[in-house]
Amino acid sequence: MPVKPKLGQNFLVDTEAIQRIAASIGDLTGRTVVEIGPGRGAITAALAAHATRVLAVELDHVLALQLRMQFPSDRVTVVEQDALQFDFAAASAAAGERLLVVGNLPYGITSPILLKLAASHAALDRAVLMVQREVADRVVAQPGSRDYGLLSVTVQIYGPAQRLFTLPPSAFSPPPDVHSTVFRWRFAPRLDELGVEEASFLRFVRLCFAQKRKTLANNLRAAAIPPAVVAAALAQAAVDPMARAEALPIEAFAALWRCLET
């Protein structure tokens, strides 16, 4: 069957990498795993060897049919659906536990998938995901580094993300144009601990990163927050008035948000 590049169909053929990904999610005994984009079932088989249940969410109709033939056992349920529409909360309620998620993601929809997982955090325990290397660099980046930005904060507010390993294009068929990195994301939201309200805080962080070249203060002023209010909040939160958002740890964004919101 011809591959569909628009669906990000670069299939993993490196058998060692397949085993490493499955091992990276941790103990699967008695657990339910959601696999995003199972494709030809390479990772699915490794997961099904240990998990109680694998929910394999595949958008491609032909691949979904093939997967059903490849995995006739009750352990694997093929769900022919757009992963962006998958109801993680319902699946978690049915499983009676928080879910594990694994995926060699279709790279074209990486950000929407990460946002979807963030929004579903209450239903999730941990995820092991393969993404384009540059995206993983941004996901795990720490304040002050070149790659630290909106994506880093948006992911890390829901729990720590850890880079695991990187694969060359030759690990896939057909080979993509880019390197790929696997990272682990443990869902442990920091919203309560940081005293922030989810939607409002995420909006605020977007404002802070609105223009990379501008200082944080300028970005906030550009969002029509009066300069005196911005200056007072920066002083109260002990943030350098000349700082750029790229330099700020999540705790500092939270302190600023609290000063401006309360």
Interface residues with ligand SAM (CB under 6 A)? 7-12, 36-40, 42-43, 57-60, 63, 82-84, 104, 106, 109
Nearer to ligand SAM, 60 or 125 (CB): 60
Least distance CB 247 / ligand SAM (angstroms): 34
Nearest to 205 by CA among 188, 185, 191: 191
Q: Report the SS3 class of residue 182.
A: strand
Q: Which tokens is 238 given?
A: 């002990």
Least distance CB 77 / ligand SAM (angstroms): 14
Nearer to ligand SAM, 133 or 221 (CB): 133
Quote the strand ranges of the chain, DSSP E. 11-12, 32-36, 53-58, 76-80, 99-104, 124-132, 161-167, 172-173, 180-186
Q: Report the SS3 class of residue 251.
A: helix
Q: Which tokens is 46 given?
A: 């490794």
Nearer to ligand SAM, 48 or 233 (CB): 48
Least distance CB 84 / ligand SAM (angstroms): 6
Nearer to ligand SAM, 144 or 168 (CB): 168
Quote the strand ranges of 47-86, DSSP E. 53-58, 76-80
Least distance CB 215 / ligand SAM (angstroms): 38
Least distance CB 87 / ligand SAM (angstroms): 13
Axis-axis angle for helices 250-261, 198-208 (nearest 10): 110
| 66 neighbors 88 (Cβ within 8 angstroms) | no
| 20 neighbors 42 (Cβ within 8 angstroms) | no
Least distance CB 254 / ligand SAM (angstroms): 32
CA atoms within 13 A on the CB side of 57: 20
Phi, psi (deg, nearest 5) at residue 145 = -90, 160
Nearer to ligand SAM, 23 or 207 (CB): 23
State which residue has the least CB distance to ligand SAM: 37
Nearer to ligand SAM, 5 or 30 (CB): 5
